[in-house]
Structure 1
Amino acid sequence: MAQNMMLYWASGSPPCWRVMIALEEKKLQGYKHKLLSFDKKEHQSAEVKALNPRAQLPTFKHGDLIVNESFAACLYLESAFKSQGTRLIPDDPAEQALVYQRMFETNNLQQKMYDVAFYGYYIPEEERHESALKRNKENLVTELKLWDGYLEKMGKGSYLAGKNFTMADVVCFPVIAFFPRLHCPKEKCPRLMEYYEMLKDRPSIKASWPPHWLDNLEGPDLLKNL
């Protein structure tokens, strides 16, 4: 079933990682895949562009169907294999709404994390300002408090959208995993770090863990001074 699937991906990319978690949760092991390097610009190859004109990863193909956006690929896998593996989208409309909200809120958390952790990478040196970086840090701290509040409200041992593991966790965990990786102080998001510890050994997450993170257990301390 998975043999006619092809995934082009990059190690440590949250969008790629979430699709890989979804594939694991839906019991679709055995799919074909190709690990590419952003640094070597391998994602801009003709092979990828033939499937994804934007030359972005992940690029996912199932038979003749091409689904490139990570959210779309994850939702497609849940829809196409609804009765297989973990049920990632609940039937109840209210529960669905919370899952979808947390999924799309992930974009806010990821962007605010990138604005701090990779400020020096994205912003040319002549355009960098301490005041801008300070503001980015304040925005990230506010966002972390919001997510901590979500988990606090739902109670200890909760997933992002309730008592069950859902697509919200598939989508968001790869972003949350960057905080301990980049040495974010635990006191800035204690509930998120409890959540991280609860999920990091889940089989689907361990099976898809970024290989270069395994090779280098300590990431850079880009969030140390948050």
Structure 2
Amino acid sequence: MCQYGVKTLLAILPSGGGALVSFVLTEKKIPFEVVTIDLEAKEHKAPEFRALHPFGQLPVLDEDGFILYEARAICRYIEEKYADQCTSLLPKGLKERALVEQAVSAELANFLPHAMKAAHEVTGQSPRGLNADQTVVDEAVAALAATLDVYEVLLGKHRFIAGDEFTLADVFHYAYAPLLAENGVDVMTKNGPNWNEVISYPTWRKLKAEGIKGTVI
């Protein structure tokens, strides 16, 4: 049976690293409070916020005074602390865990750079603002498609990215994969049913439908 953990505090966005942290907290059924940071007002660059995150970035976790930043570090911390609560997102076996870390490294090197570049363009978050450069989008999507071709080979051997169990290796794709799909980048949804299963995991559908509220029921 799932047990609730302590209340946590986050400064997050509905995509990017904040989405990853929200996903893991929700999957582990850990209540958390959302603190909204106004990026346009540059609250994340204010001295009081930099005291929490010296680079002035999101997300940040504040757990009863324990401050942790960088989404992947936060997700690993949550999983390690609540390893036996609800879904286990990291295997206990040495070789199985090594395969997850291998997949995480591959995502960071081969998926994230292209997905983030395309997402920033199509959502108006690039330096050009709302004037997306279609050439940049096309190049990023082409590179992403090459990565997804490799994923299809992997997903032909097992259910999820690093094996037959859903892990942090899959979670880390939620920073930008669904955002691309929602903005008409079809490459995210036409590479087979297994990939669709990864990016349409029930917890993500719940977060998208209900919003990131910080309350887990």
Equivalent-residue separation in structure 1 for 2:97 and 2:74 (angstroms): 17
Q: After the TM superposition, which residues 119-130 of structure 1 pair with which residues of structure 2 at under 5 Å, given as runs?
A: 119=121, 122-123=126-127
Shift, 1:197, TM fit: 5.0
Shift, 1:145, TM fit: 2.4
Q: Any conservation in 2 of the 1:157–1:195 contact (CA below 8 Å)? A: no
Using structure 2 for the length normalisation, give the TM-score. Answer: 0.76
Give structure 2 stretches of 5+ with no counterpart: 213-217
Q: Any conservation in 1 of the 2:155–2:194 contact (CA below 8 Å)? A: no
**Structure 1 pair 212/153, CA: closer, same or farther in 2 (3 Å)?**
closer
Q: Write the letter of the residue equivalent to 2:161.
A: L
Query: Equivalent residue of 1:177, what SS?
Result: helix
Query: Equivalent residue of 2:9, what SS?
Result: strand
Query: Equivalent residue of 2:208, what SS?
Result: coil
Equivalent-residue separation in structure 1 for 2:5 and 2:200 (angstroms): 25
Q: 2:28 — aligned with what?
A: 26
Q: Write the letter of the residue equivalent to 1:7.
A: L
Shift, 1:173, TM fit: 2.5
Q: How many equivalent pairs are there? A: 204
**Structure 1 pair 190/152, CA: closer, same or farther in 2 (3 Å)?**
farther
String of CA shifts for 1:46-89, please: whole Å, max 9, x gaps: 44223112221101012232110111001111111111111111
Q: 1:151 — aligned with what?
A: 152
Q: 1:167 — aligned with what?
A: 168
**Structure 1 pair 185/207, CA: closer, same or farther in 2 (3 Å)?**
closer
Q: Any conservation in 2 of the 1:17–1:210 contact (CA below 8 Å)? A: no
Question: Does 1:9 pair with 2:8?
Answer: no
Query: Equivalent residue of 1:178, what SS?
Result: helix
Equivalent-residue separation in structure 2 for 1:190 and 1:208 (angstroms): 23
Q: Write the letter of the residue equivalent to 2:144.
A: E
Shift, 1:183, TM fit: 0.7
Q: 1:223 — aligned with what?
A: none
Q: Write the letter of the residue equivalent to 2:38.
A: S
Q: Any conservation in 1 of the 2:189–2:195 contact (CA below 8 Å)? A: no
Q: 1:195 — aligned with what?
A: 195
Equivalent-residue separation in structure 2 for 1:169 and 1:63 (angstroms): 29
Equivalent-residue separation in structure 2 for 1:164 and 1:80 (angstroms): 19
String of CA shifts for 1:121-150, please: whole Å, max 9, x gaps: 54569xx998xx46x734542332223322
Q: Which has the larger displacement, 3-12 or 54-63?
A: 3-12
Q: After the TM superposition, which residues 203-218 of structure 1 pair with which residues of structure 2 at under 5 Å, given as runs?
A: 204-209=203-208
Instruction: Percent identity, please.
Output: 23
Q: Which has the larger displacement, 35-44 or 66-75?
A: 35-44
**Structure 1 pair 43/171, CA: closer, same or farther in 2 (3 Å)?**
same
Q: Any conservation in 2 of the 1:10–1:37 contact (CA below 8 Å)? A: no
Q: 2:215 — aligned with what?
A: none
Q: Any conservation in 2 of the 1:10–1:58 contact (CA below 8 Å)? A: yes
Give structure 1 stretches of 5+ with no counterpart: 214-226
Question: Does 1:74 pair with 2:75?
Answer: yes
Q: Higher helix share goes to which structure?
A: 1
